[in-house]
Chains A and B, each alone.
Chain A
């Protein structure tokens, strides 16, 4: 088929490529299990075919690369298997073990045609990545960081990371709505829209987390909500960068990603994994209940206890009043009785005393009467006696007086001047007056001397003083 030109053997391009095709087809007759990293899947929605970019890296450097075809039918079959077993679709950046034939096409060149992919190999690889993420977080000491935060008593302000159209988001809000109707619980929420599955979810979620961080003072908690999207494409939640972002997030992150596969790292390290959006909302409402119920109970208790306390005090008071009344009544009755007794005693005593006094008086009266009579009688007698005596005495007294009088009369007779003159005495008078001394006498004066019988007239010749008592 080749032609000779100027002594040169010349092949057409097609002849060469066909030759290569033949050689390769002869050389690689069967299919082979090959392992490689699928950098890009390169799925074409229109045709349904994929043109994966397969590489092998050593220390991050590509050392081998080959074009690859995954035809529509094979893709659908393999992708279904993957979703069933791995809960992940075929996607970029996974390691795969695939069965392929080596083909050379004259027009398109060398390529591998993927016939089958072993999901268990990729599964192991994904699991390895997940374990690595966990180990890294633990090594850095941040695995429990978000869990160690404190959820406010009332997680009321919620930064929601979800998609407006997601069924999970709708479920979540539905629970809130019913809580508002049933209990008037009020939540504040703000949606931070993000992709929630697949590889692009990682940067999208991180971006929204960072936005929330900027306004974190407005929120109590972050809720990552996803639902209704099936169980595929969740390996993004095992991503180290996302997990780290959540672990170090300054406020609690709650997850409600809604799937039935193994818990992802993001869920493990989040403050609490509620599993589904509905359960997450219920969890928040439960916190409200935890707050509200004790408040309600406190209210009831206060009312009840206060009523009881007042009632008790009333009862106490009433019984005190009753006691007081009965005690005072008792005292009054007792005093009344005592007064009565005293009165009675006084009455009796008085009566007794009066009677006794009366008797005494009667007796005394009688005594007085008797005494008086006796006294009068005796006085009468003594008066009579006295009269008799007086009569006697007066007679003897008069007799005695008569005697004395007669004696006195004799005396008087004896003393009369005549008797004296008779006895020889005389009375000398001057000018009719008796003289006792010579003091007034002057010579020549005429003296009258009275004698018992007769009077002598004489004149004074001389006077001579007599000695005393001679």
Chain B
């Protein structure tokens, strides 16, 4: 199981769990495990919506270092 899925993977896995549950393919034994996983995926998805990890300073630094070869393209 991918512990650090990106949002696409997290979302797809979540959808999969939903459809499994919807189609009654999950037994009560597995249910708690699946729901635990789903809630983790939901949290991942939600946190993707509400946070970003981009660093403005880093972008600025990169812009500075590569500006010179801008015109070569």
Residues B31 and A295 in contact, CB atoms below 8 Å apart? no
A210-B73, A298-B15, A310-B31 given; A288·B52 CB < 8 A: no
Residues A313 and B28 in contact, CB atoms below 8 Å apart? yes
Closest CB of chain B to A153's CB: distance in Å?
5
> Hey, what's the 0/1 contact readout for B2-35 against A, CB within 8 Å counting as 1?
0000011001001101100110101010010001
Q: How large is the interface on B (under 10, 10 to 19, 20 to 34, 35 or more residues)?
A: 35 or more
> Hey, what's the 0/1 contact readout for B32-73 against A, CB within 8 Å counting as 1?
000100110010011011111010101100110011001101
A212 to B12, CA, bound (A): 30
Binding-face segment, A66-74, A127-135, A178-186, A439-447: A178-186
Closest CB of chain A to B69's CB: distance in Å?
8
Q: Which single member of B26, B45, B59, B63 contacts A295 (CB below 8 Å)?
A: B45
A429 to B46, CA, bound (A): 163
- The secondary structure that dominates the B interface is helix
Residues A309 and B31 in contact, CB atoms below 8 Å apart? yes
Question: B35: which A residues are within 8 A, CB to CB?
Answer: 302, 306
A79 to B3, CA, bound (A): 63
Residues B42 and A188 in contact, CB atoms below 8 Å apart? no
Residues B54 and A188 in contact, CB atoms below 8 Å apart? yes
Give the B-binding residues of A (Cβ under 8 A).
Answer: 152-154, 156-157, 183-188, 190, 207, 210-211, 213-215, 218, 288, 291-292, 294-295, 298-299, 301-302, 305-306, 309-310, 313
Q: List 26 A-B contacts (CB under 8 A).
A: A154-B48, A156-B48, A157-B52, A186-B49, A186-B50, A186-B51, A188-B54, A190-B56, A210-B71, A211-B70, A214-B66, A214-B70, A215-B59, A215-B66, A288-B49, A291-B11, A291-B49, A294-B11, A295-B46, A298-B38, A301-B18, A301-B21, A301-B22, A302-B21, A305-B21, A309-B28
